[in-house]
Amino acid sequence: MEIDDVNTITVLGAGNMGHGIAEVAALAGYAVNLRDINEEFVGKGYDQIEWSLGKLAEREQISEADADAALERVTTYVDLAESVADADVVVEAVPEKMEIKKDVYTELEAAAPDRTVFATNTSSLSVTELADVTDRPEQFCGMHFFNPPVRMQLVEVISGAETADETMDLIADLAEEMGKTPVRVHKDSPGFIVNRILVPLMNEAAWIVESGDATVAEVDSTTKYGLGLPMGTFELADQVGVDVGYHVLDYMHEVLGDAYEPSPLLEAKVEAEELGKKTGSGFYDYEDGDGAQIP
Catalog residues that contact ligand 3HC under the rule CB under 6 A.
52, 55-56, 123, 146-148, 150-152, 195, 198, 230-231, 236, 239-240, 244
Closest separation in Å from C-beta 191 to ligand 3HC: 8
Residue 267 burial class via C-beta count within 10 angstroms: exposed 0-12, middle 13-18, buried 19 and up: middle
Quick one: 39 exposed, middle or buried, by C-beta within 10 A (0-12, 13-18, 19+)? exposed
Beginning with the edge strand found earlier in the chain, give each strand of the sheet holding 89-92 in spatial order: 74-77, 31-35, 8-12, 89-92, 117-120, 140-144, 154-159, 181-185
* Residue 235 Cβ vs ligand 3HC, minimum distance, rounded to whole Å: 8
Select 116 or 233, whichever has its Cβ closest to ligand 3HC.
233
Question: What residues act catalytically?
Answer: 123, 144, 156, 195
Compute the least distance from the CB of residue 52 to ligand 3HC, in Å.
Answer: 3
Residues 6+ apart with CB under 8 A from 101: 92, 94, 95, 120, 122, 125, 130
The answer, yes or no, to whether the previous bond of 182 is cis (omega within 30 of 0) is no
Strand partners for 76: 34
| Cβ-proximal residue to ligand 3HC, closest one | 123
User: Given the complex with ligand 3HC, which of 61 and 211 has the nearer CB atom?
Assistant: 61
For 181, phi and psi rounded to 5 degrees? -110, 110
DSSP state of 259: G
**In this complex, which beta carbon is closest to ligand 3HC, that of residue 8 or of residue 121?**
121
Nearer to ligand 3HC, 52 or 126 (CB): 52
Q: How far is the CB of 247 from ligand 3HC (least distance, A)?
A: 9
By beta-carbon proximity to ligand 3HC, the closer residue of 97 and 151 is 151
Q: Which is nearer to ligand 3HC, 112 or 171 (CB)?
A: 171
Contact (CB, 8 A) for 12 and 18: yes
Q: How near is the Cβ of 253 to ligand 3HC at its closest, in Å?
A: 16
User: Nearest distance from residue 51's CB to ligand 3HC, in Å?
Assistant: 7
Specify the long-range contacts of residues 135-141, CB closer than 8 Å, at least 24 apart.
135/109, 136/109, 137/161, 137/162, 137/163, 138/162, 138/163, 138/164, 138/167, 139/164, 139/167, 140/167, 141/117, 141/167, 141/168, 141/171
